[in-house]
Amino acid sequence: MRWLVLGLLAGVVCAQGKTPDKKTLDKALKGRVEAWSDGVLSLRWPFDAAAELDDFDTRGFSPVSRRVENGRLFLEQGKDDESPFARLDHLHFQPPFSVRLQMTPKFDNAGLVLGLVDTKARGGQTWILLNAPVGKEPGDRIFGIFRTRAGAGAVPIAGPRTQRVEAGKPLEVAIEIRGGEMTVTVGGRKLFNDPLFTHGSFSFFFGPGGAGVEVDDLRIHGRPVPSSLRKLVLGERAEDSDAAKRLEEGRTAGVAMAVARLDEPFSRELRRTLRDLEPGARKLVARARKAEGSRDFEDAALLLQEASMIAPDSAIILWRAGWNLSFSGEYELALKAYEAALKKDDELAVAWRDLGALNHLLEHDVGALAAFDKSIDLDPENALGYALKGMLLQGQGKLDEALALYEEARAIKPAEEAYSALQRVVKRLKTPPEWEIKYTEETEHYEVSTNVGEKFAKRVARRLEIYRDFLAEVCPLPESARTGRSPVWIFDARGQYNVFAGTLMSRTAESTAGVYHPAIRTLLLFDDVDRESTFDTLFHEAFHQYLDRVNASPPIWFNEGMAELFGALEVDDNGVKGLGLHVGRLRELRHTLIDEPESIPDLDDLLRMTKVAFYDRDTVSLHYAVAWSLCHYFMTGTRGKARDLFRTYAKAILEGKTGDEAYQASFGAEAGKKAESFRRGWLRHLRRLP
């Protein structure tokens, strides 16, 4: 009877309550559906084309570590990959469930990891290790089932077993879950089973377990959770809509503008100026232009700096050196080069424009606006200058002013599609979500709108008010910033969410479950199948929204560290239950302190870190972990000088002061003398945490 009820429920997956047919599901799942009947779905990935892996979330993989070779998917773990697993996050299943595939180890020490993430138990996962690189004899590897829970390590459930394998020899793998029991079969041999499988619903992931493995013909057969199937169909419709197409045009426009700066030809006047240079300087500039063409900006900058010594009065060379330094990530040196160029020629419009772009990147928006205005005054036909200023104002929520600037750019260069596309993005921001059904709940501080359901809207609003009361107590805002409702939009499906989150002009936003959109001062979120995960994201982003009421450019470590801290707040409908731990962040920190302690940034460096440096793809995860742990230490782990300085620092930020002003009022006077003492206290705090 239970399976009959689940089968009937699985049919009610669309907003209109209609059962999606196989054609609808096949479109949403990009042609992977083999069968769909009585609430049971059969999917297949033959892995004969690289595009098939696009169906999975592949964060942690570099392009080199996943590729299709000879009709098989090849996976290997790179040195820097933290979590190289392909996740089928957008579909959740219930038993009965099965996975079948063929794995071929490329080397004796190559294996495969399959896993199931419990939808309901936070941190609960089951790992199936196939040919893990551990064994007594060459060619023997461990096979076993392990389970994890939040705050605990891996616990062996079945195995380990050993099985003889050979590099290059295919093995058929089957995992079946029925009646609370999971069975694993490899090469036709039943290796082990888990008689007490506990996940009521789960998502699936897989990845390499060693040097490299080929995967062929992945088949999944199971009963999808009704809500995940509904979200999948709704998301596919949203991503296929005109709004999504306009979004992609806008993002492409942003890229086009970056490329326009990258490939910008020298104007006739600039080329004439270069012809007047001494022969030695001209040769160096010519070599620098070739280096630019091959995107070797560092070499180009060095050549131009050498040329500037031969022609010390040339503002053009210094500007171009700054241009190359900026593209190579040497931002402070680039600023100095632009400023030196403008000292020699303060009417060089391109130098003012690029100085504005760099200041915007470094969050010096006042200086950026002044530089853009100067550039436009000097060269009213400077279309790119208008557009770059428009993008800055768009980020500040000044949408009408941004639209007018994009129109100016279009009038100068009507054939440039990028400026029209940017206008369409702003118009999209000015239009609320186009939901067929909308539920709104207003409270003292929030206006929650969603297409999920009325009860859900009320529940979210209630918890947000509890959360807001907590924030008002520990991080009080000035009286003038305490009134007014903050808008929250919660989408039923990731695809619907992406259409709005993507207007941040970044694909990174689309890999998140939620984001605070400062241009419209709105918290955007999609409702995950795992509701607890939804609330974790909600509270994290709600802190960004709360802080933005008083400080539009807070220090990034404080903004993200406090959001991580309070994102783990345990809240139910009756109030705050406690402050949870980010177990993953803590584990990463402890491993880093053992393996690479030199990579932990100093307190001074972290407190003054720019967004660009904080979000560096190689270190961003560590920066989040350090920022969270420092906030946890300052808020809960110390009663001495460090806490007093942090309170002074936080008070300044909450009053709208800049990061530098807050730093000078607190840690700036003490950091040099107390840095080692603070570090020892922080390390003691980490050791005391469970």
CATH of the domain at 52: 2.60.120.560
Angle (CA) 672 678 683, round 5°:
140
Task: Tell me, yes or no, whether 170 and 25 share the same domain.
Answer: yes
Residue 242 domain-assigned (yes or no) = no
Q: What does the alpha-carbon distance between residue 111 and residue 105 come to, in Å, rounded to a whole number?
A: 6
Q: Minimal CA–CA distance to 372: which of 411, 330, 401? A: 401
Judged against a pLDDT cut of 90, whether residue 555 lies above it is answered with yes
pLDDT, tens only, 626-644 = 999 999 999 988 778 888 9
Helical axes 268-275 vs 315-327, angle rounded to 10°? 120
Judged against a pLDDT cut of 70, whether residue 301 lies above it is answered with yes
Judged against a pLDDT cut of 60, whether residue 263 lies above it is answered with no
Task: Tell me, yes or no, whether 88 and 221 share the same domain.
Answer: yes
Q: What does the alpha-carbon distance between residue 610 and residue 605 come to, in Å, rounded to a whole number?
A: 10
Residue 245 domain-assigned (yes or no) = no
pLDDT, tens only, 176-194 = 999 889 999 988 888 888 8
Residue 239 domain-assigned (yes or no) = no
Task: Tell me, yes or no, whether 529 and 615 share the same domain.
Answer: no
- Look at strands 140-148 and 125-132 and give their pairing: antiparallel
Secondary structure string (H, E, C) spanning 173-238: EEEEEECCEEEEEECCEEEEEECCCCCCCEEEEEEECCCCEEEEEEEEEEEECHHHHHHHHHHHHH
Task: Tell me, yes or no, whether 325 and 180 share the same domain.
Answer: no
Domain boundary among 430, 461, 489: 430
Q: What does the alpha-carbon distance between residue 641 and residue 628 come to, in Å, rounded to a whole number?
A: 19
Q: How far apart are the first and last CA of the chain?
A: 44
- CATH number (domain holding residue 519): 3.40.30.160
Residue 592 domain-assigned (yes or no) = yes
**Cβ-proximal residues to 348 (8 Å cutoff; 6+ apart), any chain:** 315, 316, 319, 341, 342, 378
Angle (CA) 640 649 570, round 5°:
75
Other CB atoms closer than 10 Å to residue 643's CB: what's the count? 16
- CATH number (domain holding residue 569): 1.10.390
pLDDT, tens only, 73-97 = 888 875 544 567 888 878 899 999 9
Task: Tell me, yes or no, whether 17 and 133 share the same domain.
Answer: yes
Tell me which of 122 and 572 has the higher pLDDT: 572
In the beta sheet, which residues pair with residue 141?
Answer: 163
Domain that includes residue 54, residue range: 1-234
Query: Which pLDDT band holds residue 510 (cuts at 50, 70, 90)?
Result: very low
Task: Tell me, yes or no, whether 268 and 135 share the same domain.
Answer: no
Domain boundary among 535, 550, 565: 550
Domain boundary among 207, 234, 261: 234
| Whole-number pLDDT of residue 507 | 45
Q: What does the alpha-carbon distance between residue 545 and residue 563 come to, in Å, rounded to a whole number?
A: 10
Q: What does the alpha-carbon distance between residue 640 and residue 662 come to, in Å, rounded to a whole number?
A: 19
Q: What does the alpha-carbon distance between residue 88 and residue 142 come to, in Å, rounded to a whole number?
A: 25
Residue 625 domain-assigned (yes or no) = yes
Give yes or no for a cis peptide into 414 (omega within 30° of 0).
Answer: no
Task: Tell me, yes or no, whether 118 and 1 share the same domain.
Answer: yes
Cα 366 to the chain's mean position, in Å?
27
Task: Tell me, yes or no, whether 447 and 424 share the same domain.
Answer: no
Task: Tell me, yes or no, whether 393 and 475 share the same domain.
Answer: no
Residue 246 domain-assigned (yes or no) = no
Residue-by-residue DSSP string for 286-355: HHHHHHHHTT-HHHHHHHHHHHHHHSTT-HHHHHHHHHHHHHTT-HHHHHHHHHHHHHH-TT-HHHHHHH
| Whole-number pLDDT of residue 78 | 59
pLDDT, tens only, 594-620 = 888 888 988 888 988 988 889 887 888
Task: Tell me, yes or no, whether 130 and 193 share the same domain.
Answer: yes
**Cβ-proximal residues to 605 (8 Å cutoff; 6+ apart), any chain:** none
| Whole-number pLDDT of residue 16 | 41
Residue 387 domain-assigned (yes or no) = yes
* Domain count along the chain: 4
Task: Tell me, yes or no, whether 521 and 599 share the same domain.
Answer: no
| Whole-number pLDDT of residue 12 | 33
Q: By the 8 A CB rule, do 281 and 311 touch?
A: yes
pLDDT, tens only, 335-358 = 999 999 999 999 999 999 999 999
Task: Tell me, yes or no, whether 455 and 481 share the same domain.
Answer: yes
Q: What does the alpha-carbon distance between residue 524 and residue 563 come to, in Å, rounded to a whole number?
A: 15
What is the model's pTM? 0.78
Residue 399 domain-assigned (yes or no) = yes
Q: By the 8 A CB rule, do 165 and 173 touch?
A: no
